[in-house]
Amino acid sequence: MTRSLPFLLLAVAPLTASAYANLSYAPLHSGDEPTNPQPAHGQVVGRVVLADGQSAEQVSVMVKGTTIGTSTEADGSFRLRLPAGKQTLAVAYLGYVTQEIEVEVANRSTTSVPTVTLIKSTSQLSEVKITETRTINQRPTGVSKMPIRPLDLPQAVVTVNQQTLEQQQVLRLSDALANTPGLYVTSTTGGTQEELGSRGFAYGSNNTFKNGVRFNNGVMPETSSLESMEVLKGSAAILYGNVAAGGVLNLVTKKPKFEQGGSVGLRVGSFGFWKPMVDVYGAVGKSDKVAFRLNGTYEQGNSFRDQVESDRFYVNPSLLFKLSPKTDLLVEGDYLRDNRTPDYGIGAVDYVFQPSRSRFLNVPDALNATSQTSATATLTSRLNDTWQVRAVTGFQRYDNELRTAGRPTGSTVQGANYGNWNRTLQRSETGENYFLAQLDLTGNFHTGFLGHTLLVGADADQYLTNTLQYTNPANPTNANQAVSTYDALNLLDPSREVAVTGPRLTGFNDLVRNTITDAGTRRAGIYVQDLLSFSEKIKALVGLRWSYQETPSDIYYYKTVANRNANPPVDGNLEQRRRYDDAFSPRLGLVYQPIKTMSVFASYSNSFSPQANTATDLDGQPLPPSIIDQYEVGVKNDLFNGALSANLTAYRIVNSNQIQSVLLNDPRIQTAVNKTNPQELAGEVTSKGVEVDVQSKPYLGWSLIAGYSYNNTAYTNSNIYKNGSRLRYNPAHTANMSLFYTVEAGALKGISAGVTGYYVGDKLAGRNPRELQGSGQPFPNGDTNKFISIPDYLLFDASLGYVHNRFALRVKMANLLNELSYNMHDDNSINPIAPRNFSATVSYKL
């Protein structure tokens, strides 16, 4: 399907009062009030708790007889800018007795009031629905590490909350992307993971986080455990170090609660899919100091792809300890076991593929078995009304065993063998340990007229990865040759018989050890960032990070074919590689707020990309990291008294020192120390685009999210590729729309209906054509590299739901238009998207 213009869509965002109760960084000032006191004004700070000592979020704190007020944050804290003099604060919360506090506000000073403890009201209340009162531009995010509103942040931020994920019956992370324009799937290599990208840059494991801790995205994360999904677009190097320039994704899991509750549910769907789910939480015993949460799922299903199936198990326990009125300790863990059939898709011949939705080309006993275990401890302490400290330590274990056929690429030689593929076998075993420690200190204070929201932090992490790679065994008739073929087939006509001569592999156990690699990454960084408030309207975000990184790698090569199956090795060669890199990452952003509900911003930041261990220059010296500059401007608006938020961002990202090979006809080669593969930082890639994010609060039962993005990422200076040629996997346009309506009264109360649309524009796969060979000479008959054009597509889903008391039923029909397109990696993993399919979820609240 081809379209001349992208289809602009809208999406749903029902917001609840609990949508951000899990925020680890408790804001130190109200998002609704300016942080800079003016003459004859002062600030009042305080905290509200419930009778059991737990923090009370979204409590109304108003100045009696005025419209001045705010609501408490996740930790129960509030901050108000008030006229100097005697004031009366009214603290009100549904189901609790309203309390009044007399306070004397000192001019140009901060006044603290005693902690307010709410007492339950004895009055009977009818059923009340509580909704989020803050807009997406007012709710601070954990991914930004600072207790400031997105309205004050010179950077685009998108949050998708739990209610949206449940309404849309999100099963995979890719389903949630229908709410985040500019974040997209780049490929699904092997059908075992979803690789994401943004603004022309791949995310990878460095850019994906769970509760602020990196996680290995080699396995698809479990979405049923999510409280929210946070996307910080653009450069985040100052906060997280070595991350790609496109942005970072943080998955926030469900947190413990002191009130008893939970749910059980069952999801069923097309292709034999079924998934039971359980989620329970409450106080441990009758304690008011320890709460727990436990959610878990089991999942099993086949696929629209022939012979593809999967099963997975997930459990996510967590404990919250109230160590003191000001100090919390949150301990979280999860375990995921995911077994599925690896599937490299339908294959291609000379960068051309035959459209198919079901054709399967792997061997019957192929398996990708993955397990992932993680544990995180987060200590948060409010030292006083100004300062808060947060310490995080985390561990993750990742194990993967892969047994698969090679990626399908058929013969391109015209004739009887055209399209033939000698199917090979591959086997590997990977184990990885990851450790993290992080310490952040945040404060909100003034120096004279200047307001500060300060972040000072340090972090260190380490990957330890062990990989065992297998290869082909020796030929029994010739020990210096190897047996590499399992069988053969034709990619254009898999039913055609293709003869194989000579010895063949009989299965994965024939493969023998080839290399053992002990690799790792050691990183450390220190950073400081300050939001400076010059006045109510003018603010600046400035900061700097220094990062240090080591990448050691020890590769053991089995020396002879005959000894490759020995364990421990009989003989072999050890190759050691080491890199040491460091980089500074500055950030400067200006924010102008002409009115309270609008901000205009401009920012500069950069990120860095370390080179591979083998990258050396003409003198044989390691190349320094590439520095990537990013410029961003935008406007954020809360319209119609906060009912609708609309944000527009434009950006330009330039990697002006991209690594590229020195061509062999370069005169410098003659006197170079490194003549084999010298490289230099002389290339340039530029990404530019615009993004629109729109999100509403619920209004008369209606709610929506909308978005559109345009991106062009291309070579702008290259000695091999044509300038202006697009980089692969990045759609030029994405857009989304989801609109939900819930009947709030009458005979049809509890019924909801919604539509969700997600448009992905054309993308390119294959390989970028080259203008010159590595020698520097033109290709005599043109380059063999070619692009594959991936057609655009529009996913359109329809949903119906019914909620009555504790019972809920939701049904969904996905891809109503039965669109056919593909996610591709190069020309050897061409995976079709799912056809029209059905799912239903029934749940009961405990």
Q: Could you give the percent of the chain with pLDDT greater than 90?
A: 67
Which pLDDT belongs to residue 26? 36
Coil, helix or strand for 143?
A: helix
* ∠ CA 833-839-844, rounded to 5°: 145
Q: Residue 564: pLDDT band by 50, 70, 90 thresholds?
A: low
> How much is the mean pLDDT over the chain?
88
Q: What's the residue count for the chain?
A: 846
Separation of alpha carbons 633 and 304, rounded Å: 43
Taking alpha carbons only, the member of 803, 829, 758 closest to residue 342 is 829
Which pLDDT belongs to residue 698? 87
| Tens-digit pLDDT profile for residues 109-149 | 788 888 888 887 766 555 455 555 678 888 888 899 988 88
Coil, helix or strand for 562?
A: helix
Separation of alpha carbons 785 and 770, rounded Å: 7
- Least confident window among 226-235, 316-325, 572-581, 711-720: 572-581
Strand ranges for 23-143 from DSSP E: 41-49, 60-63, 69-71, 77-83, 85-92, 99-105, 110-112, 116-117
Q: SS in 3 state form for 675-701?
A: CCCCEEEEEEEEEEEEEEEEEECCECC
- Least confident window among 412-416, 451-455, 810-814: 412-416
* ∠ CA 600-603-609, rounded to 5°: 150
Q: Residue 173: pLDDT band by 50, 70, 90 thresholds?
A: very high
Handedness of CA 447, 449, 455, 456 (dihedral sign): negative
Average pLDDT over residues 632-638: 96
Task: Give percent helix, percent strand, percent coil of the chain, each to the nearest 5.
Answer: 5, 55, 40
Fold of the domain spanning 261-707+715-845: Maltoporin; Chain A (2.40.170)
Which pLDDT belongs to residue 24? 37
Please count the helices (runs of H) and the strands (runs of E) in the chain. 3, 49
Other CB atoms within 10 Å distance of the CB of residue 289: 15
Which pLDDT belongs to residue 108? 75
Which pLDDT belongs to residue 124? 52
Which pLDDT belongs to residue 122? 64
CB 594 within 8 A of CB 542: no
Separation of alpha carbons 268 and 273, rounded Å: 5
Coil, helix or strand for 101?
A: strand
| Tens-digit pLDDT profile for residues 508-537 | 999 998 889 999 999 999 999 999 999 989
Q: Tell me: pLDDT of 570 over 80.
A: no
Peptide bond into 568 cis (omega under 30): yes
Q: Residue 578: pLDDT band by 50, 70, 90 thresholds?
A: confident
Separation of alpha carbons 338 and 802, rounded Å: 32
- Least confident window among 104-118, 212-226, 541-555: 104-118
Separation of alpha carbons 347 and 352, rounded Å: 9
DSSP state at residue 345: B
Q: Tell me: pLDDT of 563 over 60.
A: no
Which pLDDT belongs to residue 132? 56
Which pLDDT belongs to residue 561? 52
Highest averaged pLDDT of the listed ranges 33-47, 70-84, 114-128:
70-84
Q: Tell me: pLDDT of 29 over 50.
A: no
Which pLDDT belongs to residue 421? 92
Left (φ > 0), alpha (ψ -120 to 50) or beta: where does 641 sit? left
Highest averaged pLDDT of the listed ranges 35-49, 61-75, 83-97, 587-601:
587-601
CB 63 within 8 A of CB 109: no
Q: What DSSP string describes 276-331?
A: EEEEEEEESTT-SSEEEEEEEEEEEE--SSTT--EEEEEEEEEEEEEEETTEEEEE
Which pLDDT belongs to residue 136? 82
- Least confident window among 208-222, 466-480, 534-548, 811-825: 466-480
DSSP state at residue 217: T
Q: Residue 14: pLDDT band by 50, 70, 90 thresholds?
A: very low
The Cα diameter of the chain in Å comes to: 98
Q: Tell me: pLDDT of 25 over 60.
A: no
Q: For residue 703, report the phi and psi dihedrals to the nearest 5 degrees.
A: -155, 150
Domain boundaries, the chain: 42-117, 127-253, 261-707+715-845
Handedness of CA 655, 694, 709, 798 (dihedral sign): positive
| Tens-digit pLDDT profile for residues 744-786 | 999 999 999 999 999 999 999 999 999 999 888 999 988 999 9
Q: What DSSP string describes 813-828?
A: EE-TT----EEEETTT
Q: Scanning the structure block, which residue is given the tokens 């403890």?
A: 117
Q: Tell me: pLDDT of 175 over 90.
A: yes
Fold of the domain spanning 127-253: Ferric Hydroxamate Uptake Protein; Chain A, domain 1 (2.170.130)
Would strands 247-253 and 387-405 be described as parallel, antiparallel, or unpaired? Answer: unpaired
Q: Residue 98: pLDDT band by 50, 70, 90 thresholds?
A: confident
Average pLDDT over residues 177-202: 92
Instruction: Read off the amino acid at residue 84.
Output: A
Which pLDDT belongs to residue 740? 96
| Tens-digit pLDDT profile for residues 221-254 | 999 999 999 999 999 999 999 999 999 999 999 9
Q: Tell me: pLDDT of 386 over 80.
A: yes
Taking alpha carbons only, the member of 354, 309, 317 closest to residue 335 is 317
CATH dotted code for 42-117: 2.60.40.1120
In angstroms and rounded to an integer, the radius of gyration of the C-alpha atoms of the chain is: 29
Which pLDDT belongs to residue 52? 66
Which pLDDT belongs to residue 131? 54
Which pLDDT belongs to residue 313? 98
Which pLDDT belongs to residue 574? 78
Average pLDDT over residues 269-285: 96
CB 606 within 8 A of CB 582: no
Other CB atoms within 10 Å distance of the CB of residue 48: 26
Q: Which residues contact 433 (CB under 8 A, 6 or more apart)?
A: 395, 396, 397, 463, 464, 465
| Helical spans, DSSP H, in 360-408 | none
Q: Residue 687: pLDDT band by 50, 70, 90 thresholds?
A: very high
Separation of alpha carbons 38 and 360, rounded Å: 69
Which pLDDT belongs to residue 414? 87
Read off the pTM.
0.86
CB 50 within 8 A of CB 118: yes
Q: Which residues contact 575 (CB under 8 A, 6 or more apart)?
A: 554, 555, 556, 557
